[in-house]
Amino acid sequence: MPQNKAVRVEDLGLVDYKEAWDYQERLFGEIVDLKIRNRREDLSLETPNHFLFVEHPHVYTLGKSGDLGNLLLNESQLEAKGATFYRINRGGDITYHGPGQIVGYPILDLENFFMDIHKYLRFLEEAVILTLADYGLHCSRSEGETGVWLGVGTPFARKICAMGVRASRWVTMHGFALNVNADLGYFDNIIPCGIRGKAVTSLHVELGVDSVDEQGVKEKILRHFAALFEASYTR
């Protein structure tokens, strides 16, 4: 089957979590269905790739292997904070999404790139690490803990980007959430990713500014993503 390394990028803006999840599922399903058809009918039709940027209203999501005890709010408290909650079909534990956070959902057929989920996750992390380096921040991975961190190996370790993906038939969905101008108070209502004793941070906090241009961050992410995956992208 021919490899298609072109990626269609969409910026959905501020979208309800369930609405964006349903859209992901539709794109994911279309790619999987095409791959099944290729195999059944001995075809070689190209499979598409997508990259969605989105921002969500306040929401907490729990991965399929996550512990509900890591959500520290009951239903009425969630409502009082203007937040919603979903159990979802990605890996990982609990996380928060909200305004000021850049969420990226690559929906890729990895057979167009490489068939290695571990490498896929490391490349997503690397795209974020390189993006933050453009702002003068030294970020890294924390052994055994997916995502991007500052201060690893010190008492001040803090997570700036969470990750959780799903893959089936080498097609991916869900992705990463990078805190850019996030209200970190919402993380106080969970044990983020089920990890105790480590803090969460945001790019604007690390830079000591009121706000960071989110469009500029997105462009940097895309540039590094395309270089790592040897991909091209269109909007």
Q: Single out the catalytic residue among 193, 203, 217, 222.
A: 193
pLDDT by residue (tens digit) across 158-215?
Answer: 999 999 999 999 999 999 999 999 999 999 998 876 666 679 999 999 999 999 999 9
Q: Is 48 exposed, middle or buried (0-12, 13-18, 19+ CB in 10 A)?
A: middle
pLDDT by residue (tens digit) across 71-127?
Answer: 999 999 999 999 999 999 898 888 999 999 999 999 999 999 999 999 999 999 999
- Could you tell me which of 129, 121, 73 has the C-alpha nearest to residue 96? 73
Q: 8 forms bridges with which residues in the sheet?
A: 50, 234
User: How confident is the model at residue 92, as a pLDDT?
Assistant: 80
**Is 133 one of the annotated binding-site residues?**
no
**Is 190 one of the annotated binding-site residues?**
no
State which CATH number among 3.30.930.10, 3.40.50.800, 2.30.30.90, 3.40.1190.20 fits the domain covering 6-234: 3.30.930.10
**Is 102 one of the annotated binding-site residues?**
no
Q: Are 127 and 225 contacting, i.e. CB atoms less than 8 angstroms apart?
A: yes
Asked if residue 138 has pLDDT above 90, the reply is: yes
What is the percent of the chain where pLDDT is above 70?
97
Residue 146 or residue 41, greater confidence: 41
Tokens of 55: 């921002």
**Is 90 one of the annotated binding-site residues?**
yes
**Is 20 one of the annotated binding-site residues?**
no
Sign of CA dihedral 69, 74, 79, 82: negative
Tokens of 82: 């203007």
**Is 173 one of the annotated binding-site residues?**
no
Residue 144 makes CB contacts below 8 A (sequence gap 6+) with none
User: How confident is the model at residue 193, as a pLDDT?
Assistant: 62
This prediction has a pTM of 0.95
**Is 95 one of the annotated binding-site residues?**
yes
- 161: annotated active-site residue: no
Average pLDDT, the chain: 94
Q: Are 172 and 106 contacting, i.e. CB atoms less than 8 angstroms apart?
A: yes
Sign of CA dihedral 225, 91, 107, 82: negative
**Domain ranges within the chain, ordered by starting residue:** 6-234
